[in-house]
A and B are shown apart, each in its own frame.
Chain A
Amino acid sequence: MSERIYLIPLWLRIWHWTNATLILTLAVTGISLHFAGSGRFLVEFSLAARIHDIAGIALACAYSAYFILNIFSGNGLQYFPRAPVLEGCIRQARYYMWGIFRGEPHPYVPSKEVKFNPLQALLYWIIMYMVMPVVVISGLVFFFPTVAPDKLFGLDGLLPVAFLHYVSSAAIFLFLIGHVYLATTGDKPTSMLKMMITGWHEHH
């Protein structure tokens, strides 16, 4: 007997896949720009620069929409870690490192009230509310370089901005690897993917 609940509203699914597409585009073009001249598999520089600019603006818009809709829909509250944070995270981490191989059930079953497991909520909260603003704002500074200090420690003042942009985007890229993989840990490897398309969560 399976339980079926409508978990992901349409706007959130549209944002999710838009965000995913943009982040993938930005990662490919960003790597091509940063490591320019290091390999033939990279996107041609001026093309990468243009795509990165456009996708960056689009990401900033999508993020703003996501941020605002999260406030109005109340979805934003889902990301804030719930007590006891540490205990919940350890329980979930134990499942990924041990229980999952033994066929144990998921320690936290999603519901309309609590969609995410504690580890998921904490990571999403860090990435979406702490890292994403850094990558978006530092990216926008590149469009208005005069905002950055002229010089810092004898180097161009854009360097700290570039550093933050690089490190925060690398963090998002690492998250992306883990996120895509953990998306296969549903009842079936494709269950969660299906949920992100239809919005319905099925639990056996």
Chain B
Amino acid sequence: MTTLSAHRKTIKKRLKALSGWALAAAVGLAGAFGAQTAFAAPAPAAQAAHAGAKLDNAGCQTCHDGKKGKLEGKGPDGAARELRVIENEKYGKGVHAKMQCVACHTEIVDSKAQHKINPKAKKPDCVSCHQDLWDKAQKENKDKAKPRLGKVVESIGQYKKSFHARINKEDETRVYATCTECHNTHFFDIPAKDTEAHAQWRLESPKLCGTSCHEDQLEEFTDSVHGDKLASEEDPKSATCFDCHTAHSVGNSSAVTVKQTIMESCGDCHEDTFKSYERTRHGKLAATDGGQMLRCMDCHGSHGVFTVAKLKDTRKMVSQDNKMCISCHSSDKKYEKFAPVKIGGKAGEKEARPDLDEQHAWLPNTKLHWQSVRCIDCHTGADTKDSHEILGDKKAERNCVSCHSKDSSLAARLYRHLSSEEKQKYGFANSIILANSYVIGATRHALLDTAIIIIAALTLLGVLGHGAMRYISAKSRRKNEK
């Protein structure tokens, strides 16, 4: 069996061999400046422009600025293709703006259309260049003045250990992803943190991972609460891919350690929720070694984290939320997977799965309740801060009247997601609940109740009055008879 470190060594070796390819491919210039690429003869006007052009950025731009009409070259397969264009303005805004094109494209030795190629030229790569720059800065004691260089080297170190740096199983000639598949080398322009530009960039960031590699995940994410906040509400604080997966230490998401890290990152934003979760048996299981445990994503999913509020239909909300709970609590196999040990029990002691029906035997119309309200509507407190503090059978809500009354707590629980709608429709108390479910005690009509109480009181008074008159008249008759 290959050990993890041996596997890493193999990757390292292959990476070294592939590093040249990686940069050239990802830089996106392989076609334009790449080795063995022979340009077709440019149009006469362009040819004229070449004459006397220097081998500096301005010289390169005489052809590659995209303003000289349609220029065609030949790709590696010999087929004609458009000449690659580097937009000068965009390039000027990137971190590499001060570099000469030929500092990376060392194989280009002249400014003529045919471009003489130096076959012995060392192919450029991000890793060695950045490592050299950092080593040099350290040697010259300029490392403190150039902290970003250190950060890049650190990121490279993280990348080398990441899932992206592993050999692609479907194509063993390459790794899963290289630097330039995420970072555009020419326009490398991730804005500085805490700037308006950075906020804007975050809104677009899911496409970076999703568009060419992780399409399915992007689709799921776009519909999720996080994706929706980024796209519809344009809230840059909403989570994007790298907030959970990190930018460079992207791990195999099925690995336990990666899951644990991702789960903890949920707590970075959802602080109260996470704290309330940690207090629960679920949270305690996640902190215990020995199994799959129950983490945020085990209930909420990973990319498609949905919020019930978006569903606008309580039956769908109930169905979605209860599925999470019931799928584990009604299956011995799943229950054992997530609760392999008994909290507070002896070593190796397993937690027995309590029977849901037996636990809810006290609850009238159990199944109807499960279809109409969420498990968490009884198994959490009404305070949204405690929304993840799942209460066990002893602490959960057992007072029916807390829902089945005029001041129904359902309004603050399941129905708070619909609270913007009209609340006193047709004179009913809690008409918002009535729109979905008739809940005895909660969905009362004040006027009807009052009318019935008054009629009953009058009837009672009527018969009592009648009785009193009968008694008095009988007494008076007896007196008269005497």
Q: Which of A37, A53, A100 contacts B470 (CB 8 A)?
A: A100
CB of B434 within 8 A of CB of A36, answer no
Within the assembled complex, what's the spacing in Å between the Cα atoms of A100 and B472? 12
With known contacts A37-B405, A45-B441, A103-B474, A156–B435 Cβ distance under 8 A: yes
1/0 contact string of B444-460 vs chain A (CB within 8 Å): 10001100100110011
B263 to chain A, nearest CB (A): 37
Is B438 a contact of A162 with CB atoms below 8 Å? yes
Contact with B along A168-204 (1 / 0, CB 8 A): 0010011001100100110000000000000000000
Q: Are B368 and A145 in contact (CB under 8 A)?
A: yes
Asked whether A37 and B438 contact (CB < 8 A) given A46-B363, A178-B463, A181-B467, the answer is no
Tell me the residues in window 404-421 of chain B with beta carbons closer than 8 Å to chain A beta carbons: 404-407
Chain A contacts for B405, CB-based, 8 A = 36-38
Shortest C-beta distance, B438 to chain A (Å), equals 4
Q: Would A45 and B400 be within 8 Å (CB), given that A156-B434, A162-B440, A184-B467 are in contact?
A: yes
Chain B residues within CB distance 8 Å of chain A = 362-365, 368, 399-401, 404-407, 425-426, 428, 431, 434-438, 440-441, 443-444, 448-449, 452, 455-456, 459-460, 463, 466-467, 469-470, 473-474, 477
Instruction: Provide the residues of chain A in CB contact with B444, threshold 8 Å.
Output: 34
> Does A50 interact with chain B (Cβ within 8 Å)?
yes
Interchain nearest-CB distance for B445 vs A (Å):
8
Given A45-B400, A155-B435, A156-B436, A37 and B441 contact (CB-CB distance below 8 Å): yes
- Docked Cα-Cα span, A41 to B440, in Å, equals 18
Q: Nearest residue in A to B455 (C-beta to C-beta)?
A: A174
Q: How many cross-chain pairs have Cβ atoms below 8 Å apart between A and B?
A: 92
Q: Which residues on A sit within 8 Å (CB–CB) of B443?
A: 159
- Chain B nearest CB from A59 CB (Å) reads 18
Which A residues are CB-close (under 8 A) to B437?
156, 158
- For B428, the chain A residues whose CB sits under 8 A away are 155
A154 within 8 A of B: yes
Contact B362 A46 (CB under 8 A): yes
Q: Name A45's closest neighbour in chain B (CB-CB).
A: B400
Report which of A33, A156, A162 forms a contact with B404, defined as CB distance below 8 A: A33
Say yes or no for A6: interface residue by CB 8 A criterion.
Answer: no
* 30 CB-based A-B contacts, threshold 8 Å: A34-B444, A35-B441, A36-B400, A36-B401, A36-B440, A37-B404, A37-B405, A38-B405, A45-B404, A46-B362, A46-B363, A49-B364, A53-B364, A100-B470, A101-B469, A155-B425, A155-B428, A156-B434, A156-B435, A158-B437, A159-B434, A166-B452, A170-B452, A170-B455, A170-B456, A173-B456, A177-B456, A178-B463, A181-B467, A184-B467
CA–CA, A35 and B407, complex, Å: 11
Q: Assess whether A156 is in contact with B477, with CB atoms less than 8 Å apart.
A: no
Please tell me if the beta carbons of B401 and A45 are within 8 angstroms of each other in the complex: yes
Closest CB in chain B relative to A191 CB, distance in Å: 14
Closest-by-CB residue of B relative to A37 is: B405
A186 to chain B, nearest CB (A): 12
Please tell me if A4 contacts chain B, counting CB pairs below 8 Å: no
Q: Are B463 and A177 in contact (CB under 8 A)?
A: yes
Which residues in A have their C-beta under 8 angstroms from that of B438? Answer: 156, 158-159, 161-162
Chain A binding surface, main DSSP class: helix
Rounded to whole angstroms, the CA-CA distance of A17 and B460 in the bound complex is: 22
Chain B nearest CB from A135 CB (Å) reads: 14
Majority secondary structure of chain B interface residues (helix, strand, loop or mixed) = helix
Q: A36-B400, A46-B400, A173-B456 are in contact. Are A181 and B466 (CB under 8 A)?
A: yes
| A residues near B426, Cβ cutoff 8 Å | 153, 155
C-alpha gap A50/B366 in the complex (Å): 12
A50 closest partner in B (C-beta): B364
Chain A residues with a Cβ under 8 A of chain B: 33-38, 45-46, 49-50, 53, 96, 100-103, 145, 153-156, 158-159, 161-162, 166-167, 170, 173-174, 177-178, 181, 184-185
Kindly name the residue among B362, B441, B455 whose own CB sees the greatest number of chain A CB atoms within 10 A.
B441
- A102–B251 Cα distance when bound, in Å, is 99
CB-CB under 8 A from B466, the residues of chain A are: 96, 181
Task: Give the residue of A145, A158, A174 whose beta carbon is less than 8 angstroms from that of B456.
Answer: A174
Whether B460 and A177, one on each chain, are in contact in the complex, defined by CB atoms closer than 8 angstroms, is yes
Give A34 to B443 CA distance when docked, in angstroms: 9
The answer, among A34, A154, A159, for a CB contact under 8 Å with B441, is A34
Residues of chain B within 8 A (CB-CB) of A170 are 452, 455-456
Nearest-neighbor residue (CB-CB) of A155 within chain B? B434
Partner of A36, one of B363, B431, B441, B456: B441
Chain B residues within an 8 Å CB radius of A181: 463, 466-467
Given A159-B434, A181-B467, the answer on whether A174 and B441 have CB atoms closer than 8 Å is: no
Counting from the closest, the 5 A-B pairs by CB-CB distance are A37-B405, A36-B441, A45-B400, A181-B463, A101-B473
Query: Which residue of chain A lies nearest to B404 when distances are taken between CB atoms in the complex?
Result: A36
For the A-B complex with A155-B426, A178-B459 known, give 6 more contacts whose Cβ atoms are closer than 8 Å: A33-B404, A36-B401, A37-B441, A145-B368, A155-B435, A170-B456
Bound CA span A154–B407, Å? 22
CB nearest to B422 among chain A residues: A154
Task: Contact check, A155 vs B431: say whether CB atoms are below 8 A apart.
Answer: yes
* Chain B residue, CB-CB nearest to A52: B364
A101 & B470 in contact (Cβ 8 Å cutoff): yes
Tell me the minimal C-beta distance from B251 to chain A in angstroms.
47
Complex Cα gap A33–B400 (Å)? 10
CA distance A36 to B406 in the complex (A): 8
Expressed in whole angstroms, the minimum distance between the Cβ of B152 and any Cβ of chain A is 60
Q: How far is the CB of A27 from chain B (nearest CB, A)?
A: 11
**Chain B residues with CB below 8 A from A156, complex form:** 434-438
Residues of B within 8 A of A184 (CB): 467
Q: How many angstroms between the C-alpha atoms of A159 and B443 in the bound complex?
A: 9
Minimal Cβ-Cβ distance residue in B for A156: B438
With A177-B456, A177-B463 known as contacts, the answer to whether A154 contacts B435 (CB < 8 A) is yes
> Which residue among B406, B435, B440 has the maximum number of chain A CB atoms within 10 Å of its CB?
B440
Q: How far is the CA of A177 from the CA of B405 in the complex (A)?
A: 27
Q: Which residues of A contact B364 (CB under 8 A)?
A: 46, 49-50, 53
Chain B residues closer than 8 Å to A103, beta-carbon distance: 473-474, 477
Most B Cβ at <10 Å: residue of A45, A158, A166: A45
